[in-house]
Amino acid sequence: MEVKRCSRCGAFYTNQGYVCSKCTSKDNLELSQFKNFVEENCVEISSLSQIASETGISEKNLNRFLDYDGLEGYKKLFK
């Protein structure tokens, strides 16, 4: 069994996913906020720090989201 370290809270966990089970709902919530924000403001977004200040999601978490499966298209927007 693979033990991973949660990048949100630092706890060790063995469940599937990008973060521990305690952080999963918060992570999913922020991820959908991020996606919605990008979809609604696509042409006006220039940087992750802009999204961070407008959504309240930390830049660290936004950077992590860009590596999630299915967000390859988003990654291109910020490179």
Enumerate binding residues for Zn ion (CB under 5 A).
Answer: 6, 8-9, 11, 19-20, 23
Q: Is the Cβ of residue 8 or residue 64 nearer to Zn ion in the bound state?
A: 8
Min dist CB 6 to Zn ion, Å, is 3
Which stretches of the chain are assigned E, i.e. beta strand?
A: 4-5, 12-13
Sequence letter at residue 4: K
The nearest distance, CB 32 to Zn ion, in angstroms, is 18
Which residue in this structure is represented by tokens 């952080």? Answer: 23
> What are the beta bridge partners of residue 12?
5
Rounded to a whole number of angstroms, the minimum distance from the CB of residue 38 to Zn ion is 24
**Which one, 50 or 63, has the nearer CB to Zn ion?**
63
Nearer to Zn ion, 18 or 34 (CB): 18
Helix-helix angle 48-55:21-41, to 10 degrees = 110
